[in-house]
């Protein structure tokens, strides 16, 4: 008879990242995928998953939810990021003009 070993909490914890969420699954190269999951998109942007989800909720970051799965289209993410950079640059220009006129 073979003894069964149950999975301890430490083994389950080891599969999770430092923030308590599961790490992204190993799979195809992220460069070839059309969509990213939130942890992958957050990592690609260099922000926390919490920040990414805030941007999804409040900042118009495009995403798709189907059957409980959240996907972020890569092309939409890149376009959103370009728009953010453009609007930030425009805001900086307006601020400089206002300050110059004072």
Q: What is the pLDDT of residues 19-59, one digit of tens each?
A: 555 655 565 576 788 999 999 999 999 999 999 999 999 87
Number of domains into which the chain is organized = 1
Please report the pLDDT score of residue 51 as a whole number. 93
Q: In whole angstroms, how large is the CA radius of gyration of the chain?
A: 20
Residue 44 lies in a domain: yes
Which residues partner with 71 through β-bridges? 64
Residue 39 lies in a domain: yes
Share of the chain above pLDDT 90, in %: 39
Residue 89 lies in a domain: yes
Domain limits for position 46: 35-101
Q: What is this structure's pTM?
A: 0.58
Q: Work out the angle at residue 22's Cα, subtended by the Cα atoms of residues 57 and 61, and round it to the nearest 5 degrees.
A: 20
Residue 60 lies in a domain: yes
Residue 35 · residue 72 · CB < 8 Å: yes
CATH number at residue 61: 1.10.1660.10
């Amino acid at each position: 008879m073979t003894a069964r070993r149950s999975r301890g909490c430490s083994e389950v914890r080891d599969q999770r990242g430092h923030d308590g969420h599961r790490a992204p699954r190993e799979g195809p190269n992220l460069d070839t995928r059309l969509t990213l999951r939130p942890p992958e998109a957050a990592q690609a942007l260099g922000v926390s998953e919490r920040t990414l989800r805030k941007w999804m909720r409040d900042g118009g970051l495009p995403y798709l939810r189907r059957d409980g799965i959240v996907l972020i289209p890569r092309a939409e993410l890149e376009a959103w990021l370009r728009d953010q950079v453009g609007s930030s640059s425009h805001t900086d220009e307006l601020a400089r003009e206002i300050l110059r006129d004072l």
